[in-house]
Amino acid sequence: MATETVKKKKVRINGCVASAQAAKYADVDVITAYPIRPYTATMIALAQMVANGELDADYIVADSEHSQLSIAHGASSSGARVFTGSSGVGVQFAYELYSPISGTRMPVQMMIADRTLDPPGDFGSEHTDALSTRDMGWLMGWSCDAQEAFDNHLLGFRIGEDPRVLLPQMVCQDGFFVSHITTDVELPDTGQVKEFLPPYKHPYPLDPRRPVSHGPQIMPEQGPPLQLERARAMEGAVPVIEQAHEEFAKIFGRKYDPWIEEYMTSDAEVVFFLQGAHGVTARYAIQHMRQRGAKVGLVRLKTIRPYPTDRVNEVLSKFAVVGVVETNLALGSVSSGGVLYAEVCGALYESAKRPLVLSFMAGMGGEAIVLKEFYWMTQKMLDAKKRGKIEKRTHWVGFEE
């Protein structure tokens, strides 16, 4: 049974259900599930849709996340549109498969609702789970609310399945802050989705009528051209991503910058740089700080792979101080804090006018970053601006005066 026709309508759903709805609208063929909070709610919703006959898909309860991803790999290799997902340590359990899936150029889509890694057992959202896979050849970005999540799933299929790209996608959302917060989401008409998202057609599927061999053993000298090809696919995705966002705006009426969202930056001196749901709180904090005269703004990174290096350089070079809000853990890294600091500094190295960069370890363990903490971080950035240099690279927010 094909997907039921649903006229464009507003519903109140959380991020997990928005992701499930997107998979339904994309008319996925194979779904692979394995339970782990908080992303489970997506698979619960999809199970019900399949049971109700709203979506015709093979819904497979895998025996582990490793199996989940390899079932997805096998199904995508055969020509099916595949949807999977995970959270936290589940993302890690499947780690082996990320490189083979992108290496064989299979556009599997994976929904991530972030969860802190063990130890200790913690349900809270931290971006470390997905970020630890960031260099495996998957397109990757964070949504800040349920609507954006829904849209990013459709965009992900469109971009990843484009024959010029053929790469898997990790469509990430913060656990709980997006996955379990109910908001208004506009669901499109199926006709709009059909117009935007053509059927998946891999050029070389496992088809007995056109035999191909996938993933044979290579000699070391055959490695460089293959790796270069994968690197070029990632770079080649850039114009496809931009084109897809333009067409998305035309068809659905929602216009996104695919790389960066800027909020109150036109006259800002200091800015936050972050990904995902904490951007919502940051906007409110910025409004409050603005009332007190602080020229603060927000730069939210929307796509981290491929990383918009030049764009980050161009945007952040305008400011005096950048405060990176990490929400992830990179122990012993460049800043001894999070992953994003090095990504920001790397992009800024070629800038003629480098801002000061601070790394804020906030929202760790999935704790909410409250307004008070945003005020405190703003003050640290203003202090650095005044002093003309940073006090230190990394601040653990909540542990300092």
Partner 1 sequence: MPAIEVQRQMLPMFGSPNQGARFYNPELPQTEPFVPGHRTCAGCGPSIQYRMTSKAAGDNTILVGPTGCMYVANSSYLCTPYNVPWAHTQIGSAGSFTAGVAAAYEAMIRKGKWKGPFPNIICEAGDGSASDIGLASISGALYRNHDCLIICYDNEQYANTGIQASSRTPYGGMTTFSPPGKMVPEAKTLFPKDLARMMAAGHPHCYVATASVGYPIDLMNKVRKGLNHKGAAYMMIYTPCQKGFVYETPRSIDLGRLVVECGLYPMWEWDPAKREFDYSFRPGSMRPVSEYLKLQGRFGHLHAEHIATLQKFANAQWKMMGVELPDALLWAADAKNLSDMAAADEAVAVALTV
User: What size, in residues, is the chain?
Assistant: 401
Regarding 4 and contact with partner 1 (CB under 8 A), the answer is: no
Q: Decide the pairing of beta strands 9-13 and 260-263.
A: unpaired
Q: Which of 57, 233, 299, 339 binds partner 1 (CB under 8 A)?
A: 57
- The interface region with partner 1, picked from 97-105, 147-155, 230-238, 388-396 by CB under 8 A, is 97-105
Q: Whose structure tokens read 């191909």? A: 212
Q: Which residues of 96-110 are buried (b: 16+ CB within 10 A; e: fewer)?
A: ebbebbbbbbbbbbb
Window 210-239: residues binding partner 1 (CB under 8 A): 210-219, 222
Residue 173 Cβ, how far from partner 1 at the closest point, in Å? Answer: 25
The Cα–Cα gap between 258 and 235 comes to: 14
Q: Which of 38, 39, 49, 73 binds partner 1 (CB under 8 A)?
A: 73
Q: Which of 6, 35, 74, 122 binds partner 1 (CB under 8 A)?
A: 74
Regarding 68 and contact with partner 1 (CB under 8 A), the answer is: yes
Contact 397, 376 (CB under 8 A): yes
CA-CA-CA-CA torsion sign (249, 108, 83, 122): negative
**Which residues are CB-neighbours of 195 under 8 A, at least 6 positions away?**
251
Residue 101 Cβ, how far from partner 1 at the closest point, in Å? Answer: 10
Conformational region of residue 9, where left means phi above 0, alpha means psi within -120 to 50, and beta covers everything else: beta
Window 19-38: residues binding partner 1 (CB under 8 A): 29-30, 32
Window 141-200: residues binding partner 1 (CB under 8 A): 199
Contact 34, 67 (CB under 8 A): yes
Residue 77 Cβ, how far from partner 1 at the closest point, in Å? Answer: 5
Residue type at 221 in one-letter notation: E
Regarding 206 and contact with partner 1 (CB under 8 A), the answer is: yes
Regarding 51 and contact with partner 1 (CB under 8 A), the answer is: no
3-state SS class at 261: strand
CB closer to partner 1 out of 62 and 315: 62
Regarding 100 and contact with partner 1 (CB under 8 A), the answer is: yes
Contact residues for partner 1, defined by CB under 8 A: 1-2, 29-30, 32, 56-58, 60-64, 66-68, 70-80, 82, 96-97, 100, 104, 199, 205-219, 222
